[in-house]
């Protein structure tokens, strides 16, 4: 096992699949000669050639539309949006064509769209969003949001293998900050299975992506107060691991649903509603949500810090639940 | 809004044997306007699912019984007009206006003309619990309290405002506190065996226990417990109603069944002829059931006790026949017995048409309560699947139910024109009469069946 950064783990997963399966190709803005805006595909064009690592024009609709066609014809395209925010240009191709194709015509669309997402580095409103709930709402699309290097590799391979369009949200703030042991061989991480990031008895946090680490730091603070926090890392938002969430809720009876996306219509609402419906008699406190406010992501570092849930916010929320 | 005259919405009487109903849906919410006779809510009883029209025009000020709840007939479900539910009940204040009364003796605060407090009076005294005080019981605490028969107010609370937390009640259960409480309330849910029997579950292996008079019956599975391979589904209101009625009928009447074989040769021939005419002229199929119904209604005229009921110490007979027809709903969803009123006034065509209409209404869930009430005699036709005999259960409070079975060709001994016995092939139907032997004697039932057979074999009605 090697210790890799989150970003290296994504590269590793992509390289593994491109070496193994000639149908897999990468397309996106600057993914070739430049190696990608974040250098995920650095050296890929040299290894796989310009026909499998394709520099695309600034045309997200064309990238996703082309990938959809290629997938229908039997290839396994991986598209990179330079920033997840830009996927709105490709909404129609993704939502109207790719997501519906399987139901409409029975043809699988084995396509992955990589989406560098999330804030925390003053990227402002166009380079910091977490749009997973918009796509989780579209039947036919899968959404995965790995938090660890090991899951980043395993989920990318699962996403490429999957016969459906999969949106792969890779959190930019984790790229070089997070390191972890990653098996060198090929492996998959199942889509739809959560991971218990931290075992605890008193309060559960349901979260994913970069918030796993925010929750972890908050949990450490509460540990010293004698409150034991369990962290469920969903890993995939659609499909999501309801059973794992409900099991944790039944154990602790107090839940904080945490995400970096905005609050109203964020995926946390779906989780909270499901808990209220299916685990009502196990609740010892109202289900609490912690999320970004309903505004665009601000540029100002001070405002951005106020916007994205911070360790202190999560710790305060957890304390409130613990004391309830 | 508070000035309108209040009109109560009550659970309607949906049939003589129906004592309760379940609210399936409120079509209006509190505060909404409703017109008189506009559908206000939907209810489900053991016989019919139906809408309840609003008894008045006005504002639906109060909903007292929520969706999913089952209440007795006559229970107040809500209120149209009058004071709105949210009007603060004056009693919540520490009665500031009570001394205002001029009565000299303040000791007896007779609330003679006091404004009617709303249906659920607020807690008699003490400040209203605000926020998460001790009075609030979270869902999980309520569940644990229920499972262990604990009164949550007896548990020391450590949560916000003294609230009892899950940890508090679990600690209370673990400590001896729980045992002091009265025996767990949850137990009685398990079907309790008849009084003398020992408690069901206690003795799988307990050798030291002195031998019981009888070996314990296999422990019944407690309600809510599921064994591997079992599937549990909630009972519908209709199924509960059927279950209750079937049991009550068997507990009430002395069921006896007599059967007779009827040669349908003549009916078959008549029907062949009529079928074309009726179809062409009226679009109606003269079914065998219609023939049996016609002959039964005529025969009942001579046997009033078969078309009667026992009401207290009296026997009530009828000069009319409200004919119940058992109709199976799709896919075993239940059985309903719509009633064809004044069947004695219908000819074969009228009976065939009436039966087809009420059966269709039953299957399309269009029956109204009156359609299932007031039956005096019932016919059930379980022969559609080929069965040749059965012992149906009487629809209470009637005294009998007629069963018709499969029409089959059988070798049959008949006399030829020379008076010789010969074996002929004849279409035969078994017909049963299940009667309440408290009222109908066996010989009477026999004569009824004999006459019925006579009418069917020597059909002289329509089509002749």
Chain B residue closest in CA terms to A249: B140
Worst-scoring range by mean pLDDT, B122-131, B210-219, B402-411, B427-436? B122-131
Q: Judge contact between B325 and B390, C-beta under 8 A.
A: no
Q: Is B165 exposed, middle or buried (0-12, 13-18, 19+ CB in 10 A)?
A: buried
User: Which residues of chain B make contact with A284, given a CB cutoff of 8 A?
Assistant: 138-141, 165-166
Question: What confidence category does residue A251 fall into, taking pLDDT thresholds of 50, 70 and 90?
Answer: very high
Beta-carbon pairs below 8 A across chains A and B? 28
Residue A173: DSSP 8-state = G
Worst-scoring range by mean pLDDT, A64-78, A198-212, B77-91? B77-91
Question: What confidence category does residue B108 fall into, taking pLDDT thresholds of 50, 70 and 90?
Answer: very low
Q: A282 and B165: CB-CB below 8 Å?
A: no
Exposure string over A230-258, b if 16+ CB within 10 A, otherwise e: bbbbbbbbbebbbebbebbbbebbbbbbb
Q: Which of A89, A119, A109 is nearest to A28 (CA)?
A: A89
Cut 0.80: pTM above it: no
pLDDT of A93 strictly over 50: yes
State the Cα–Cα distance between residues B116 and B109, nearest whole angstrom: 15
Cα end-to-end distance, chain A, whole Å: 44
> How do beta strands B76-80 and B7-10 pair?
antiparallel
User: Which residues of chain B make contact with A204, given a CB cutoff of 8 A?
Assistant: none
Peptide bond into B362 cis (omega under 30): no
Please check whether residue B159 touches A, CB under 8 A: yes
- For residue A12, the distance in angstroms to the closest alpha carbon of chain B comes to 46
Q: What is the predicted pLDDT for the residue at B128?
A: 40
B248-286 pLDDT, tens digit per residue, is 999 999 999 999 999 999 999 999 988 888 988 999 999
Q: Judge contact between A165 and A141, C-beta under 8 A.
A: yes
B316 φ/ψ angles, rounded to the nearest 5 degrees: -110, 120
- For residue A130, the distance in angstroms to the closest alpha carbon of chain B comes to 34
Residue B72 annotated among the catalytic residues of the structure: no
Q: Judge contact between B414 and B426, C-beta under 8 A.
A: yes
Q: What is the mean pLDDT of residues A176-186?
A: 96
| Chain A positions touching chain B (beta carbons under 8 Å) | 253, 280-285, 323-324
Q: Is A13 exposed, middle or buried (0-12, 13-18, 19+ CB in 10 A)?
A: buried
B142-201 pLDDT, tens digit per residue, is 999 988 888 888 888 888 888 899 999 999 888 855 454 444 444 434 444 444 433 444
Question: What confidence category does residue B372 fall into, taking pLDDT thresholds of 50, 70 and 90?
Answer: confident
Q: B143 and A324: CB-CB below 8 Å?
A: no
Q: What is the predicted pLDDT for the residue at A51?
A: 96
Residue B441 annotated among the catalytic residues of the structure: yes
Q: What is the mean pLDDT of residues A148-176?
A: 97
Q: Judge contact between B30 and B11, C-beta under 8 A.
A: no
**Share of residues in chain A with pLDDT > 90 (%):** 99
Worst-scoring range by mean pLDDT, A203-212, A239-248, B89-98, B148-157? B89-98
Q: What is the predicted pLDDT for the residue at B47?
A: 63
Q: A284 and B140: CB-CB below 8 Å?
A: yes
Q: Is A122 exposed, middle or buried (0-12, 13-18, 19+ CB in 10 A)?
A: middle
State the Cα–Cα distance between residues A32 and A52, nearest whole angstrom: 9
Q: What is the predicted pLDDT for the residue at B450?
A: 95
Question: What confidence category does residue A261 fall into, taking pLDDT thresholds of 50, 70 and 90?
Answer: very high
Q: What is the predicted pLDDT for the residue at B404?
A: 94
State the Cα–Cα distance between residues B50 and A284, nearest whole angstrom: 39
Q: A281 and B138: CB-CB below 8 Å?
A: no
Given B142, B143, B159, which is nearest A324 (Cβ)?
Answer: B159
Q: A282 and B140: CB-CB below 8 Å?
A: yes
Question: What confidence category does residue B223 fall into, taking pLDDT thresholds of 50, 70 and 90?
Answer: low
State the residue for tokens 């994913």: A208
Size of chain B in residues:
464
Chain B residue closest in CA terms to A323: B159
State the residue for tokens 């699309």: A141
Q: Which of B217, B173, B174, B214 is nearest to B193 (CA)?
A: B217
């Amino acid at each position: 096992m090697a210790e890799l950064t989150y970003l290296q783990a994504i590269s590793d997963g992509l390289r593994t699949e491109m070496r193994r399966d000639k149908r897999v190709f990468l397309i996106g803005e600057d993914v070739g000669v430049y190696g990608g805006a974040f250098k995920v595909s650095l050296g890929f064009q040299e290894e796989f050639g310009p026909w499998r690592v394709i520099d695309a024009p600034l045309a997200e609709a064309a990238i996703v539309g082309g990938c959809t066609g290629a997938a229908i014809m039997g290839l396994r395209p991986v598209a990179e949006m330079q920033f997840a925010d830009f996927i709105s240009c490709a909404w129609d191709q993704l939502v109207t064509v790719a997501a519906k194709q399987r139901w409409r015509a029975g043809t699988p669309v084995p396509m992955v769209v990589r989406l560098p997402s999330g804030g925390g580095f003053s990227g402002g409103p166009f380079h910091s969003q977490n749009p997973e709930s918009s796509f989780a709402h579209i039947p036919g699309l899968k959404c995965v949001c790995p938090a660890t290097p090991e899951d980043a590799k395993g989920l990318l391979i699962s996403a490429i293998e999957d016969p459906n369009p999969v949106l792969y949200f890779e959190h930019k703030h984790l790229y070089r900050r997070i390191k972890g042991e990653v098996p060198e061989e090929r492996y998959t991480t199942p889509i739809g299975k959560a991971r218990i990031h931290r075992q605890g008895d008193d309060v559960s946090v349901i979260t994913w992506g970069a918030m796993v680490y925010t929750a972890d730091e908050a949990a450490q603070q509460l540990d010293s107060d004698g409150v034991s926090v369990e962290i469920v890392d969903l890993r995939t938002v659609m499909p999501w691991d309801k059973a794992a969430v409900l099991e944790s809720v039944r154990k602790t009876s107090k839940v904080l649903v945490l995400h970096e996306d905005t609050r109203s219509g964020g995926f946390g609402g779906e989780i909270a509603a499901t808990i209220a419906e299916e685990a009502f008699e196990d609740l010892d406190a109202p289900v609490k949500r912690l999320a970004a406010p309903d505004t665009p992501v601000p540029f100002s570092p001070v405002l951005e810090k106020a916007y994205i849930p911070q360790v202190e916010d999560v710790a305060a929320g957890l304390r409130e639940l613990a004391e309830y | 809004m508070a000035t309108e005259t209040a009109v109560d919405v009550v659970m309607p009487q949906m049939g003589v044997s129906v004592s309760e109903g379940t609210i399936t849906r409120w079509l209006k919410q509190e505060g909404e306007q409703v017109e008189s006779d506009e559908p206000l809510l939907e209810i489900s009883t053991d016989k019919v699912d139906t809408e309840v029209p609003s008894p008045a025009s006005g504002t639906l000020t109060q909903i007292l019984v929520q969706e999913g709840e089952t209440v007795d007939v006559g229970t107040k479900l809500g209120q149209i007009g009058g004071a709105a539910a949210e009007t603060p009940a004056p009693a919540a204040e520490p009665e500031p206006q009570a001394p205002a009364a001029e009565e000299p003796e303040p000791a007896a605060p007779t609330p003679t003309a006091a404004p009617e407090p709303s249906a659920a009076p607020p807690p008699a005294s003490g400040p209203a619990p605000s926020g998460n005080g001790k009075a609030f019981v979270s869902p999980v605490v309520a569940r644990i309290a229920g499972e262990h028969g604990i009164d949550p107010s007896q548990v020391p609370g450590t949560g916000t405002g003294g609230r009892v937390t899950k940890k508090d009640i679990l600690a209370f259960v673990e400590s001896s506190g729980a045992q002091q409480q009265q025996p767990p309330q949850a137990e009685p849910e398990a079907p309790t065996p008849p009084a003398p029997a020992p408690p069901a579950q206690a003795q799988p292996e307990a050798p030291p226990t002195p031998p019981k008079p009888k070996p314990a019956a296999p422990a019944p599975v407690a309600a809510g417990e599921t064994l591997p391979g079992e599937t549990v589904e909630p009972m519908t209101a209709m199924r509960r109603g059927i279950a209750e009625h079937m049991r009550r009928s068997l507990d009430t009447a002395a069921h006896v069944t007599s059967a007779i074989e009827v040669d349908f040769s003549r009916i078959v021939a008549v029907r062949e002829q009529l079928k074309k005419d009726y179809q062409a002229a009226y679009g109606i199929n003269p079914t065998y059931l219609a023939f049996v119904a016609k002959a039964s209604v005529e025969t009942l005229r001579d046997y009033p006790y078969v078309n009667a009921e026992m009401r207290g110490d009296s026997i009530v007979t009828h000069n009319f026949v409200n004919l119940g027809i058992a109709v199976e709903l799709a896919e075993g969803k239940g059985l309903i017995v719509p009633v064809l009123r004044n069947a004695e006034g219908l000819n074969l065509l009228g009976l065939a048409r009436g039966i087809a209409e009420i059966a269709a209404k039953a299957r399309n869930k269009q029956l109204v309560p009156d359609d299932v009430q007031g039956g005096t005699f019932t016919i059930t036709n379980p022969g559609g699947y080929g069965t040749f005999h059965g012992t149906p259960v009487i629809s209470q409070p009637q005294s009998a139910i007629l069963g018709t079975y499969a029409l089959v060709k059988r070798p049959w001994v008949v006399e030829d024109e020379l008076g010789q016995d010969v074996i002929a092939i004849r279409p035969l139907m078994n017909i049963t009469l299940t009667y309440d032997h408290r009222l109908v004697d066996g010989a009477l039932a026999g004569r009824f069946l004999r006459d019925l057979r006579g009418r069917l074999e020597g059909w002289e009605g329509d089509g002749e």
